[in-house]
Amino acid sequence: MATYRSDEGWDALGDPTRRAIVACLAEQPRAVGELARELPISRPAVSQHLKVLKDAGLVVDQQAGTRRVYRLNPAGVAALRDQLDTFWRRALDSYQDVVDQTTEEDS
């Protein structure tokens, strides 16, 4: 089956807390402590999530004094988006067949 090399990316976005982090970083780059303050979890938990997101290539970090600022990685996000886009296009093709055959509704 078409190899996902971005498996880690999907796994990373599979967690609601990590999606919240991503959404937060989409607004603006933030340090670890700032993220922890806006989320209902402890700072170590944020660190662990950031490690997953970083390994997946979805975020990048940058040392700034004693703080460490994280931001979204455009390339990583784009990779996942492109995959969905591919699925979407293929789905449209199959959908065309449905229109031809029937206009049934399911439960």
Measured over the CA atoms of residue 71, residue 75, residue 78 and residue 80, the dihedral's sign is: negative
23 binds its own copies (CB under 8 A): yes
Nearest Cα neighbor of 48 from 15, 81, 4, 6 is 15
Q: How many residues sit close enough to its own copies to count as binding (CB under 8 A)? A: 47
Measured distance CA(52)–CA(38) in Å, rounded:
19
60 within 8 A of 71, measured Cβ to Cβ: yes
Binds 55, which of its own copies, DNA, none (CB < 5 to 8 A, cut-off by type)?
none
Least CB distance to DNA at residue 86 (A): 22
15 binds its own copies (CB under 8 A): yes
Binds 47, which of DNA, its own copies, none (CB < 5 to 8 A, cut-off by type)?
DNA
Would you say 25 or 32 has its CB closer to DNA? 32
